[in-house]
Chains A and B, each alone.
Chain A
Amino acid sequence: MVEDNDVVDALRRGDEAAFRQVVMQYHSALVRTARSFVRSQAVAEEVAQDTWLAVIRGLSAFEGRSSFKTWLFRILVNQARSRGQRESRTAASGSFLEEDEASVSASRFNDMDHRWPRHWRAFPTDWGLLPEDTISSAETRSVIEGAIESLPTNQRQVITLRDMDGFDSREVSAALELSEGNQRVLLHRARSRVRAALELHLQGVATA
């Protein structure tokens, strides 16, 4: 990976190899992230391409106060959000915290009249004991992808930016105009749902 300042300098000089390299490095991740804001893969691809055009136009104005990667994804998120909002003017947002969503089904815990209330009925298993092949299989990966695709939009946006793109809590809450606390609630719900999908899958594999 090229150092940030070097990338911007090279791009400003018109260094085509440097441009090719950053596009190779980030384009598919931009499309994937855009996909969490818009309805189709084709629109996500368009948003990613528009982002590069905005990068090209904005190079001279880039002040280097954030990293190149942060700047790039901020442009993407802004474009994808306005595109997504145009797609669904009626989409409800901001009401997500009113719904209470348990991270783990209440049925997994003992009732209040048990000697150990609210403790596990049966312990979650140790995934460290599973064969490495099972954990890293293509099937396991597609279970995660499927779980992420079926998340509510705002959860999918946060888990994509945090866990796939690798941005931190502060960066993601700023990009999505959420408080860090709300951002964390969404991330936690998203991760909890993905974990539950993985658990279901891995149990099936283990008992097959």
Chain B
Amino acid sequence: MIPPMDCQDLVEIVTAYFDDAMTPAEREIFEHHLEECDGCVNYVAQMRMTVELTGTLTPDDIAPDTMETLLAAFRSATTDPS
């Protein structure tokens, strides 16, 4: 018999679930709840998509003059024997 878990508890441990930072017993309770609750299935999918979308954000490109400054520093450090 798996003890019940409320939706309001489940939303607090989704990151622990993704990180696999749960005991096997906690994991079983979590997954058992998902089998019976479409609302939480959607919620977990929303959290997963949030993580994925955050990972696709691309930062701005480097400014050309910054690149030149850094290359100059690299050049002088690697050609200067001191």
Contacts and interface: CB of A to CB of B under 8 A. Distances in A.
Interface of A: 11, 13-14, 16, 19-20, 23-24, 27-29, 31-32, 45, 49, 52-53, 56-57, 102-104, 106, 109, 117-120, 123-128, 135-136, 140-141, 144-145, 148, 159, 163-164, 166, 169, 180-181, 184, 187-188, 191-192, 194-195, 198-199
Contact of B60 (A16, A28, A53): A28
A123 B15 contact: no
A133 B37 CA distance: 28
B45 A188 contact: no
Given A57-B77, A120-B7, A188 B50 contact: no
Given A164-B54, A184-B15, A188-B15, A28 B39 contact: no
B53 A20 contact: no
B55 A163 contact: yes
19 contacts: A11-B74, A14-B75, A20-B67, A23-B71, A49-B69, A52-B74, A118-B7, A119-B6, A126-B45, A127-B42, A136-B56, A141-B53, A164-B54, A164-B55, A166-B55, A184-B21, A188-B12, A191-B15, A199-B46
Contacts of A127: 42, 45-46, 49
Contacts, number: 140
B8 A19 contact: no
